[in-house]
Amino acid sequence: MVITVGSSLPKTELFETSPDDKKTLADVFGMKTGILFGVPGAFTPTCDQTHLPSYLKDYEQLKAKGVEVIACMAVNDSFVMQAWGKATGAEGKIHMLADIKADTAKALGVDFDVTPVLGNVRCKRFAAVIRDGKIAAIEVEPDNVGASCTLAKISTNTSERDLLRG
């Protein structure tokens, strides 16, 4: 299934701080306005050096534009995601969500099989604006892993696409 603008959030389980900390995207976003972005893996070069840092750099600007919640999702375990959040300074700003079996990535239609390289199915690089429990806008990298259309600057740049306007 490929999720589109207007779709409700999938009810799949994610994990934040530990295997006991189960939640859904609805638990994380509620009826708030937020950004969910997905990455192929914690600590991987583009994810660690470019994608996540773009949201940290523009965090205050996104908040000023009305973004109430920011979450990052990857097919990793909760301990890796928590460690990555601490290592990058995302802790307390960005929800670091572990999609341990790629169920959420599959439900969103942003999964891809990179078993030969990374050992399993991973999440394509994407960014989505969530508003009132639904997808308000979504961008998926055309090559699954590049970072040309899903960085935070796209979310704040009205000349390319204002992801915050529903």
CB distance 128 to 134 below 8 Å: no
Specify the amino acid at residue 13: E
For the question of residue 72 being annotated catalytic, the response is no
Cβ-Cβ contacts under 8 Å for 1 (sequence gap 6 or more): 106, 107, 108, 109
CB distance 160 to 154 below 8 Å: yes
Pairing mode, strands 69-74 and 33-38: parallel
Given the residues 47, 72, 123, 149, select the one marked as catalytic.
47
- Catalytic residue numbers read 47
